[in-house]
């Protein structure tokens, strides 16, 4: 047996634009990242292997404030973009409410720590 939901039931749904804003953010940050990351990959492609990124090479390049900013933009945008993308997945696959809460909590903490760590690193050179 079903009792049809009424007009007022349906109207009482909460209102928030958060999902819309995240949706727009994913597209805009994606567009910007597209240039930043493909540029980054292209420029560092010659190195290809992480071991080419020697201490000195990295330090030298990051001495330039423009590169600092470039890298910081990548860092923050891609972490936010990636974190929100991962949130989509968590909300889809982690179905039990309590589990979802702590998985999200741990995940956001890791992202925040990484962000702090990366920022400090970038600007401490």
Partner 1 sequence: MHHRYDVLVVGAGGAGLMAALYAAKGNVSVACISKLYPTRSHTGAAQGGIGAALGNVQEDHWEWHMFDTVKGGDYLTDQDAAEVFAKDIIDAVYELEHMGLPFSRTPEGKIAQRKFGGHTRDFGKAAVERSCYAKDRTGHMILQTLYQQNVKAGTTFFNEFHVTDLLIEDGRCQGLVAYELSTGELHTFHAKAVILAAGGYGRVFKITSNALTLTGDLMSIYYRKGLPLEDMEFYQFHPTGLAKLGILVTEGIRGEGGILRNDSGERFMERYAPTIKDLAPRDIVSRSIITEIREGRGVGRDKDAVNIDLTHLPREVIEGKLAEITDLARTYLGMDPVKDLVPIQPTAHYAMGGIPTNLDGLCLSDGSGGTVEGLYAAGEQACVSLHGANRLGTNSLGDLVVFGRRAGIAAAKYARQVEYPDMPEGAQRESVDLFERLRNGSGKENAAAIRKDLQESMMNNVGIFRNGKDMAAQVEILKELKARYQGVTVSDPSRRYNSELIEAMELGFMLDCAEAMTASALNRTESRGAHDREDFTERNDTDWLKHTMAYKNLNKADDVIIGYKPVALKGFTRAFEPKPRVY
Partner 2 sequence: MTQTTAQASSAPVSASVPMLQLKVKVLRFDPEKDKKAYWTTYDVEAQPGDRVLDVINHIKWYLEPSLTFRRSCMHGICGSDAMLINGRNRLACKTLVRDVAKSGGTITVEPIRGLKVEKDLLVDMEPFFDSYKAIMPYFINESPAPAAERIQSEEEAERMAHSSNCILCACCTTSCPIFWVNGSYLGPAAIVQAHRFIFDTRDEATQQRLGIMNQNTGVWRCRTAYNCTEACPRDIPITQLIEEVKRAVMYGQA
Partner 3 sequence: MYRGREGQWAFLLHRLSGLAILFYLMLHVFSIGSFIFGERFYMTIHETYDLVPFRIGLLFVTAGVVYHAFNGLRIIVMDFTGFGVAYQRQMWYGVMLLSVLAFIGSAIVVVPRILGGY
Angle between helices 55-62 and 65-93 (to 10 degrees): 110
Q: Select from 50, 93, 120, 124 the one that contacts partner 2 (CB under 8 A).
A: 93
Contact 109, 79 (CB under 8 A): no
> What is the DSSP code (8-state) at residue 94?
-
Q: Does 96 bind partner 2 (CB under 8 A)?
A: no
Q: How far is the CB of 12 from partner 1 (least distance, A)?
A: 14
Please tell me whether residue 48 adopts helix, strand or coil conformation.
coil
Whose CB is nearest to ligand HEM? 85
Q: How far is the CB of 11 from partner 1 (least distance, A)?
A: 12
69-108: contacts with partner 3 (CB under 8 A): 75, 78-79, 82-83, 85-86, 89
Contact 118, 68 (CB under 8 A): no
Q: Quick one: 47 or 99, whose CB is closer to partner 3? A: 47
């Amino acid at each position: 047996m079903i009792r049809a939901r009424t007009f007022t039931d349906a109207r009482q749904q909460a209102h928030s634009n958060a999902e819309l804003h995240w949706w727009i953010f994913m597209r805009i940050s994606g567009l910007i990242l597209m240039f930043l990351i493909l540029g980054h990959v292209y420029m560092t492609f010659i190195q290809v292997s992480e071991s080419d990124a020697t201490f000195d090479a990295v330090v030298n390049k990051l001495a330039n404030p423009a590169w600092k900013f470039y890298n910081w933009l990548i860092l923050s945008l891609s972490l936010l973009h990636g974190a929100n993308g991962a949130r989509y997945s968590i909300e889809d696959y982690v179905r039990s409410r309590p589990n979802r809460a702590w998985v999200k909590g741990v995940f956001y903490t890791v992202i925040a720590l990484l962000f702090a760590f990366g920022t400090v690193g970038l600007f401490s050179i």
